Structure 1
Amino acid sequence: MSFRQRLRPTTTTILLPLLFLFIALFSPSTSDELQPLLNLKQYLENSNPSLFTSWAPPNGVCNFSGIVCGSDGLVSQINLSQQNLSGFLPLHAICSLPSLKKLSLGSNGLYGSLTDDLKNCTSLEQLDLGKNSFTGKVPDLSALTKLTLLSLNGSRFSGKFPWKSLENLTRLTFLSLGDNPFDQTSFPEETVRLDKLYWLYLSNCSIAGKIPDGIGNLTLLENLELSDNQLSGEIPQRISNLRKLWQLELYRNFLTGKIPVGFANLTSLVNFDSLHLFENRLEGEVPAEFGELKNLSELSLYRNKLTGALPQKLGSWAGLAYIDVSENYLTGAIPPGMCNNGKMIDFLLLQNNFTGGIPDSYANCKSLVRIRVSKNSLSGSIPAGLWSLPNVVVIDLSMNQFEGPLAPEIDALSEATSLITIQMSVNQFSGKIPETIGSLKKLSSLDLDQNMLSGTMPESLGSCFGISEINLAHNYISGEIPSSLGSLHNLNSLNLSGNRLSNEIPATLSSLKLSLLDLTNNQLIGRIPEALSIQAFNESFDGNPGLCSQNMENVRSCPFKSGTSSRPRIFLSSFIASVLVVLVLLCLFLLLKLRRSNLDHPLKSNSWTMKPYHVLSFTEKEILDSVKAENLIGKGGSGNVYKVVLSDGKELAVKHIWTTSDSGDRKSCRSSASILKKSKSGSSEYDSEVATLSSLRHVNVVKLYCSISSEDSNLLVYEYFPNGSLYDQLHTSKKMKMGWEVRYEIAVGAARGLEYLHHGSSHRPVIHRDVKSSNILLDGDWKPRIADFGLAKIMQAGVDCTQVIAGTLGYIAPEYAYTCKINEKSDVYSFGVVLMELVTGKKPVEAVFGENNDIVSWVYSKMQCDDSVLELVDTSISDDLKEDAINVLSIAVRCTAKMPVLRPSMRMVVQMLEEAEPYKLTCISTAKEVEK
């Protein structure tokens, strides 16, 4: 053995301990990583304390919740996405973790700006900060050369994005930067050089100009989303090179020219969207090769300028689930095989020039949910099976040339138990409206105007308890108006004009809360019920010379008959009426006495339970004694409202919610008694919901002082608002002149209240369900408060969602017409309508908007023409502030986007409104700061 061989073990024995000592002295340890994580905890802990309970010694950092360590024992991942976190992000601490490869904090409420410390996170491979509430610019990313995933979408970043830094991020496979208000830029060429990308999401981030041909180099792309930008020019031919694409979204741009050929190469394509919400410029025919796309399940091409026929083989391979080619200039026949495999859910071809009939094959398409073919040139009869499809919620056939009797084919409607909307106006349908219509308990809208219908109105209509709109105008319907319509407590709009209806107007209609009533041009006679003889309905009875009223300007006065021969009849009628009144009063007295007897005198204070939610300066008795007719100040869908003046002069509002018996006038629907009835355990959904609402605290949310309940009645005691509701101030005789400054402050305050309900509560999000101007109350200083939040859910607890319509006509989001899902975006839509009211001064539904139009459609149409935009602004708003009002109107347009996903959150709405502050208010606030 040589000397060197003998020496080697000794050398190794000496060097190994030295090596371990060097590692111990100069390598980081988990103890070094404790402090950065504790710093992170300090910034975020208050928003979710339970998440960080494990973040404390003696636990090692690798045992902290959301922390993953590598084989070396050092922190490699921080996974805290979707944890309801809010606060600043201490990047200086996070980026001191030397082995951190993954930082995932998406879908939280983080705010503040990203500091330049991000450049020290050089080991990062995945960075997800998407869906937060950051401010300011994205810092330079050039140092993060190991990144394979970068997700910053929907986080409110602004300013100029550092596109140049992407040149260093050559390993990126996933890039998501959409839904941020960056400064406008032309299409960033840097992105088309990232040839490892399989996911590119750049929607809604202010990209303009042409899509470069280089996009065809990204051959690994599976998802390409460039929607909601300002892209122009033609769609590059080379997009057809992206053969792995399964989704391509180019909607809401300004793309022109023809759809390029070559899409037959995209054999993996499932979704193809090329649409613009207001205007697009794609033209020419839909390529015939679209009929060869064997995996295509969704096709959306609406609102373009496409012409020619749809490929007749379209969807016949796999079967489409969704097609929307509405609002083009398409012609020819409807392709017959799009539901070959029974997958079709949405069938939307409205506003084109299609001819022929609806193919018989669709009568067997049991998966169909929405059928909309209105505004075409379709003709013939309707396939009988279409009326009995089990899942269909919308049938829209209006403005075509369909013909034939409604019965007997439509008698099968009783099987279509999911139907919410029937729109068949402006056709040539004939015959009677069948009695089976009464079996549609979920029906919300019935529109049969301008046909050739005859016979009488079916009494069974009174069984459609969920219905909010009935339009049977301009037909040949005769006979009486059914008294059963008076039981439709959700009915908002009733149009029976231009028919042959006769006899008297049923007194039962007096109980309805109608925003539109049109009985003009019929043969009605007699006295108009007093409750309908109001200014809002001044023109609702024209063309009925046999009608009279003592209170209406446009209707003749009801004369008293003179002469001796008529006196005995008048006397007898008066005598009979007096006897009937006495009998009714006696019955009511006996009923009330019986009720009090059965319930152990519920009006006595010892039978009521008061639950205070604040320190109270009043007693239960003071409230109960004031709930009486002379103090009634309002009626709403959830109950009567009374004004209470306490002995110390303080004013309160009391909402009285009765729980009636199941034997009332809603026999076929679950009554509020069964909804609010307490269980054996003594709890109820009513109690839990009210308890949740009572815990909410915000300056723009109405304060609930207490609830007072008995076996058959519930009282909610609120603060009182002397200026009434926003609806009162905009649309009634109570209104006072409100300048734009006041309206703007109301808009911002109301938005903040809704933002709190959706995002700011420590409880689950509270969805209002009935946002409207009458539920925004104004105090003595015109400060707004959101009212009646959550009451819609309380009133509907345990009821099928379509038995009681969530919302009010004109405010209801369009998706509610075909789905029962109500979420925060439904409230956002309704708030957008309120913003439109504030700017225009008009109601959500008015005759001036035209047939079948509401304020949203009216505003959209006007905003297409620059010359018409300023005409939208209420004339009482001064000229120098009209531009500011238009800025808010543009926010309203975003809030009322047809697709919920395109609507901003209430947080974003508040931010946009704050940025739209009128110049005058900015000057005033600046002056105040100077004074300080």
Structure 2
Amino acid sequence: MPFCSFLFLLCFPLFSFALNQEGHILQAFKRSIEDRNHVFTSWNATDPDPCSWNGVTCDDRRQVISLELISSAISSTFPLQLCKLPHLLYLSLYNNTFHSILPPAISNCSTLEFLDLGQNLLTGPIPPSIADLRNLRYLDLSGNNFSGRIPATFGRFQQLEAFSLISNLVGGTIPPFLGNITSLRMMNLSYNSFDPGRIPPELGNLVNLEVLWLTGCKLRGEIPDTFSGLKNLVLLDLSSNNLTGAFPIALTELTHVTQIELFGNSLSGALPDTFSKLQALRMFDVSMNNFSGPIPSSLFELPLESLNVFKNNFEGSLPESMAKSRSLIEMKLFANKFTGSLPADLGKYSALESLDISDNFFSGSIPEGLCQKGALTEIMVINNRFSGELPSSLGNCHSLTRIRLGNNNFTGPVPENIWGLPDVSLLELANNTFSGTISKKIGNSKMLSMILISNNNFSGTIPKEIGSLKNLVEFSADHNKFIGNIPNSIMKLDRLAKLDLQNNKLSGLLDHRLDAWRRLSELNLANNNFSGKIPPEIAFLPVLNYLDLSGNQFSGEIPHGLQNLNLNVLNLSYNHLTGILPSYFERTMYKNSFLGNPGLCKGENDACDQIHSSRSGGRGRGKEECDEEGGCVWLQRSIFVFVGVTLFVGAILFHVKYKTRSLDIKSKWTMTSFQKLSFDYDDFVGSLDEDNVIGSGGSGLVYKIVLSNGETIAVKKLWSELPDDRNSTDLENNWSEVNVFDAEIMTLGEIRHKNIVKLLCCCTNGECKLLVYEYMPNGSLGDMLHGSKRELLDWQTRYKIALDAAEGLSYLHHDCVPPIVHRDVKSNNILLDAEFGAKIADFGIAVTVDISKDKSTSVIVGSCGYIAPEYAYTLNVNEKSDIFSYGMVILELITGRRPTDLECEENNLVKWVSTNLEGEGLNHILDPKLDSSHREEMLKVLKIGLLCTDPLPINRPPMRRVVTMLLEVRMDCNSIIARRKGRMTPYDFEDSENVV
């Protein structure tokens, strides 16, 4: 035994030294981090060959030359020990949580040719010593929190080919010395905090540059003529800046360019007629500028000239693949001032895939050959002056997925085949003068999710074939001439969220079988000829918040269950309704909801007494007659005494029974706490009565309870009466008591943040579920902003609320693992404490998602006016939908208007703000309750709100960036004020630590 032990000790050092030097360096790195995703399981210290380890690559001599640890959930400071690897060429730590500063000693990684640190949490200035990496060819620092300026040493790079700095906090202006890095082939500086400045003309020296991306860099002035020197440029993106001047002729000299994106600037004038050299151009986007005049023929004829050149050099016809490779396939010219008509040959010689020329002044007709190559997927020409009938050839364009022709002067019937295109998801024909009927072929458009045909002259009956469109989310056919009944098949559309058929000539009874409409949020049948009773089943539509049945022939009583709906709009005016108005609707917000129904009365008003009296037909006797006949007064008194005694005895019995039942229920409660509590369930369950109700929502009643120790809490009692499918396991049913309860616990029970409302505990007894929160004395932002206490919300308070809410959402999106998407961000779900600090509440429909992937849901949830446009028809869940909703809250804060304010054009607050943003219209935007001395700051925050509500989700800034922009607004304005006073003072930021 001693001899064996001696052999073991003798052999042990051999095993330990079997690992080479590079293996020891990698093991030291492994020990310095926490391996949460088990990425380093294969990094076995007993394995003498690190070349077989995960993420490690070696050369032919077994030397480590590459380390790739992408998306490995690594949290650490930058691992300088990796610089000791003597042959390391490639290092990618992309999408982890490396934090702190990037140390100057990064220059010790002297052998590196490729360095990717994108999507981490690195802070501080960019170390100038990076430029000492003489062999570096690729540098990606995107998606961090780097600040300061781009180091001047970067002008010394000799071999750098790719430089990406997207989405950081880098300031200053874009430096001219970047033009010295002539080896650059790709440079992306988008979405930083640069100061406003011009594009350095020196960038025109980058003769090898293929990709230049400067989106959102606060650029102003003109595009320099020196760009004509970028002969190898393939992609140019200068979008979302404030560039001015005309379209530079220099750009038409870039013969290799395939993509030009200049959208979201202030460029003006006519486009030059010099595009003939851009034979490779495939995408051209100059939308959202101030261009005017007609479209130059050279732009439309690019593919045609290309065809002529090739036909001069080849016999026979041109191969289709070659023709497509040199075709302009995507053209976006929307939101300008272009005029004229489209060329008659547009689409004949190019495999055009996308045409978006909306919001201009184009006229004429749609070219017959627009889809001749069969590649067109999108045609968007809304808000122009097009006229005439649609070409029948569009009905053969089976590649189409989106058709948007609204707000023009189109006439005549829609070609029958267009109704039946198989892949179209959006069909928008609203606000034209189309006539004819909806073809029965519409049943073939199985992908349709939105049919928008309002304000036309369509007639006939609504075909039953619409009921086969299982993906239909919205059917808006109001202000037409439809007749007949609503087809019963529509009642089976289980994804339908909006049905608007107002102002037609429809008639008949409403079907009572509404079980499938679980996702319907808006129902508008106003100004038709519907009759009969209002189906009581409407009250069981869980997310309905807009109901307008006015101007019909409905009769009978108002369904009592309507009181349980969280209706933002209710209009039952001008029908033939009778009976007593439910007491819940005797509120100011419903004062105009029941006009023109003479048979309706309130329970305790004189009108009601008169109605009941008139129904007796005058057969009753007056008081004098009773007195003359004798005994009548005695009889009346006897009746009153009997009724009084009966009520008294009944009340005693009810009290005894209720007290016994309460004691029985009380003994069965189970409570789960999520915070340190000074109370138990028996301190508040007995106080859940009507006197303590302070609110009612889609998921239950909210009570304010003052405990015996003086502490105040808020208790949400979830609705216990569910629809008929209460046993459904549909996890997307946001009205379900079980799902709301579980969702709140899974989110609020595990997260801690100063801007997220605290869930103190939850209680259940098998029949009832309670959620107990910290009490917020100032209620919701929505109630405060649109109620009698609006004056309390000055600009400083509103700014703080916007910042608090942004920090709360940023925590949910960026700091929670997995990220949390709220899905119902709105002013009513932002609660205010005693100091007007804002906290996000109501997580009943929140979900956890992988932000790198969209999660498809099977139901539309959220609140009218706050739902992102793409969510309404894609049903994809990601953080971008929350960002849109947050942007609506910002607009609401600054304008004082609700997102569904009827005074706003087309009920679209975003559009209303955008169209009034300049000149005198600006005074109309800002809430008159706000002090105009803060105008500059309010405008900056308003523009952040518009960024968040961008119709393209990819353009909406992440919430972490929104927080930064809001802080910059205050910092910038504070500096301006200080300069005006002749002195500079540091801005006193609040403590940046958010986690409680």
Question: TM-score per shorter chain, which class?
Answer: 0.7 to 0.9
| 1:855 maps to 2:855 | no
Aligned partner of 1:19 in structure 2 is none
Match of 1:559 in 2: 610
Match of 2:291 in 1: 281
Structure 1 distance, partners of 2:947, 2:147, is 21
Q: Deviations over 1:793-828 (max 9, x none)?
A: 499xxxx97764221011111112221112212111
Q: Deviations over 1:884-904 (max 9, x none)?
A: 333322221221111112211
Cα deviation for residue 347 of structure 1 reads 3.4
1:371 pairs with 2:384: no
1:424/1:448 contact within 8 Å kept: yes
2: distance between equivalents of 1:170 and 1:464?
Answer: 62
Matched to 1:400, the amino acid is: N
Superposition map of 1:718-757 within 5 A: 718-733=773-788, 737-757=792-812
Aligned to 1:163: 176
Amino acid at match of 2:234: E
The residue type paired with residue 146 of structure 2 is F
Deviation at 1:389, TM superposition (A): 5.3
Distance 1:349 1:263, change over 3 A: same
Q: Distance in 2 between matches of 1:254 and 1:40?
A: 52
Secondary structure, counterpart of 1:227 in structure 2: coil
* 1:897-927 alpha-carbon deviations (Å, 9 max, x no partner): 1111221111111112222339689999979
Residues 736 and 253 of structure 1: CA distance in aligned 2, closer, same or farther (over 3 Å)? closer
Distance 1:750 1:175, change over 3 A: same
* Aligned with 1:769 (options 823, 827, 835): 823
Using the alignment, how far apart are the partners of 1:476 and 1:49 within structure 2? 63
Matched, 1:201 2:213: yes
Is residue 706 from structure 1 mapped to residue 761 from structure 2 by the alignment? yes
2:456 is equivalent to residue 401 of structure 1: no
Alignment-mate amino acid for residue 822 of structure 1:
V
What is the match of residue 616 of structure 1?
A: 677
Q: Which runs of 5+ in 1 are unaligned?
A: 1-29, 678-683
C-alpha separation in 2, matches of 1:282 and 1:433? 45
Q: Is the 8 A contact 1:319 1:338 kept in 2?
A: no
Please state how far the C-alpha of 1:693 moved relative to its aligned partner: 3.4
8 Å contact 2:255–2:278 — kept in the other structure? yes
Q: How far apart are 1:698 and its partner, in Å?
A: 0.9
Question: Contact 1:700–1:749 (CA<8 Å) still a contact in 2?
Answer: yes
- CA deviations on 1:167-201 (whole Å, 9 max, x unpaired) are 2x111111111222322333322222222222111
Q: Is the 8 A contact 2:179 2:204 kept in 1?
A: no
Find the residue that maps to 2:760 and give its secondary structure: strand
Residue 80 in structure 1 maps to residue 80 in structure 2: no
Shift in CA distance, 121/518, structure 1 to aligned 2, threshold 3 Å: same
Indicate yes or no: 2:478 matched with 1:466. Answer: no
Q: Does the C-alpha gap of structure 1 residues 313 and 859 become closer, same or farther in structure 2, counting only changes over 3 Å?
A: same
Is 1:894 the equivalent of 2:947? yes
CA contact (8 A) 1:48 1:84 kept: no
Q: How does 1:14-413 map to 2 (within 5 A)?
A: 69-70=64-65, 73-90=86-103, 92-140=104-152, 141-167=154-180, 169-261=181-273, 263=275, 266=278, 268-276=280-288, 279-285=289-295, 287=297, 288-289=300-301, 292=304, 294=324, 295-315=327-347, 320-336=352-368, 338=370, 345-363=377-395, 368-384=400-416, 386=418, 392-405=424-437, 407-408=460-461, 410-413=463-466
SS at match of 2:123: strand
- In the other structure, the counterpart of 1:867 is 920
Distance, in Å, in 1 between the alignment partners of 2:736 and 2:408 is 44
In structure 2, stretches of 5+ residues that fail to align are 1-19, 58-63, 67-84, 305-322, 439-459, 622-638, 850-854, 990-996
Q: Is the 8 A contact 1:403 1:430 kept in 2?
A: no
Structure 1 pair 477–264 and aligned structure 2 pair: CA distance change class (3 A) = farther
Report Cα offsets for 1:106-134 as digits up to 9, x if no partner: 12222211132233222211110012222
**1:701 shift after superposition:** 0.9
Cα distance in 2 for residues equivalent to 1:322 and 1:713 = 54
User: Residue 15 of structure 2 corresponds to which residue in structure 1?
Assistant: none
For 1:834, what is the secondary structure of its paired residue? helix
How far apart, CA to CA, are the structure 2 residues paired with 1:507 and 1:364? 51
Displacement of 1:661: 6.3
- Which residue number in structure 2 is paired with residue 24 of structure 1? none
1:157 partner letter = V
State the partner residue of 1:444. Answer: 497
Aligned pair partner of 2:892 in 830, 837, 845: 837
Contact 2:271 2:291 in 1 (8 A): no
CA distance in 1, matches of 2:475, 2:734: 31
Residue in 1 that maps onto 2:544? 491
Spell out the pairing of 1:488-527 with structure 2 (5 A cutoff). 488-498=541-551, 505-520=558-573, 527=580
In the TM superposition, what is the alpha-carbon distance from 1:772 to its structure 2 partner? 0.8
Give 3-state SS (helix, strand or coil) of 1:302's partner.
coil
Deviation at 1:375, TM superposition (A): 0.7
Determine the structure 2 residue equivalent to 1:3. none
Answer yes or no: is the 8 Å Cα contact 2:462–2:487 preserved in 1: no
CA distance in structure 2 between the partners assigned to 1:233 and 1:929 by the alignment: 40
The whole-number CA distance in structure 2 between the counterparts of 1:703 and 1:147 is 50
The CA deviation string for residues 327-368 of structure 1, in whole angstroms up to 9 with x for no partner, is 111222234555567665543221112223344455565665
Task: Specify the SS of the correspondent of 2:89.
Answer: strand
Deviation sequence 1:665-704 (CA, Å, 0-9, x none): 9999889599787xxxxxx997587334322111111112
Query: What is the alpha-carbon distance in structure 2 between the residues aligned to residue 519 and residue 833 of structure 1?
Result: 29
CA 1:714/1:905 → structure 2, altered by over 3 Å: closer, same or farther?
same
> Paired residue for 2:587, among 534, 540, 560?
534
- Distance in 2 of aligned mates of 1:56 and 1:88: 30
- More deviation in 171-180 or 540-549? 540-549
**Aligned residue for 2:314?**
none
Is the alpha carbon distance of 1:366 and 1:429 closer, same or farther for their aligned partners in structure 2, counting shifts above 3 Å? Answer: farther
- TM-score, scaled to structure 2: 0.76
Q: 8 Å contact 2:116–2:139 — kept in the other structure?
A: yes
1:18 maps to which residue? none
| Contact 1:462–1:485 (8 Å) recurs in 2 | no
CA contact (8 A) 1:724 1:779 kept: yes
Structure 1 residue 551: deviation in Å? 8.7
Q: What's 1:10 paired with?
A: none
Which residue matches 2:627? none
In structure 1, the residue matched to 2:636 is none
Inter-CA distance 479–245: structure 2 relative to 1 (3 Å threshold): farther
Give 1:473 shift: 4.1
Per-residue CA deviation, residues 382-433 of structure 1 (Å, 9 max, x unaligned), is 3455555565544332211122345556322122221212233445555554
d(CA) in 1 for partners of 2:374 and 2:264? 30
Q: Which residue of 1 aligns with 2:5?
A: none
Relative to 1, partners in 2 of residues 1:632 and 1:423: Cα closer, same or farther, differing over 3 Å? same
More deviation in 628-637 or 189-198?
A: 628-637
Give the AA of the match of 1:298. Answer: E
| 8 A Cα contact 2:275 2:302, kept in partner | yes
In 2: Cα distance, 1:321 partner to 1:711 partner: 57
**Residues of 2 paired with 1:246 and 1:602: CA distance?**
75
Task: Compare 702-711 and 48-57 and name the one that shifted more.
Answer: 48-57
